[in-house]
């Protein structure tokens, strides 16, 4: 038999957050703005359960952001290499 992904405590926390969102009393942490998004309400409930030690799977890491950073950095380094070659040619001509 497969084990459940989420424990009872995390289910209760998400349910409570969803009810608060429906009533319009759910607020986000740092800014204190009213939460209207269903996904944000679920995220708040899961993070509360995680804080209290409930059974919640770990957060997923987004791999798309990492690959774009690698691509942009490789482009930057190639442009730096070409500029350094130009400067070295100029200095060798002077000598």
**Domain of 23, in residue numbers:** 1-56
On whether residue 78 sits in a domain, the answer given is no
DSSP-assigned states of every residue in 2-67: PPPSS-HHHHHHHHHHHHHHHHT--B-TTT-PBP--HHHHHHHHHHHHHHTT---PPPPPPHHHHH
Structure pTM?
0.54
Q: Domain for residue 70, yes or no? A: no
* Residue 87 domain-assigned (yes or no): no
18 in a domain, yes or no?
yes
pLDDT digits (tens, 9 = 90+) for 13-61: 999 999 999 999 898 888 889 988 899 998 888 888 888 888 888 877 7
84: in domain? no
């Amino acid at each position: 038999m497969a084990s459940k992904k989420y424990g009872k405590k995390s289910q209760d926390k998400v349910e409570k957050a969803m009810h608060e969102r429906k009533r319009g009393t759910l607020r986000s942490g740092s800014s204190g703005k009213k939460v209207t998004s269903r996904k944000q309400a679920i995220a708040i409930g899961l993070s509360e359960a995680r804080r209290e030690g409930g059974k919640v799977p770990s957060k997923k890491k987004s791999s798309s952001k990492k690959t774009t950073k690698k691509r942009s950095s490789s482009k930057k380094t190639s442009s730096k290499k070409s500029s350094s070659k130009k400067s070295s040619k100029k200095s060798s001509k002077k000598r």
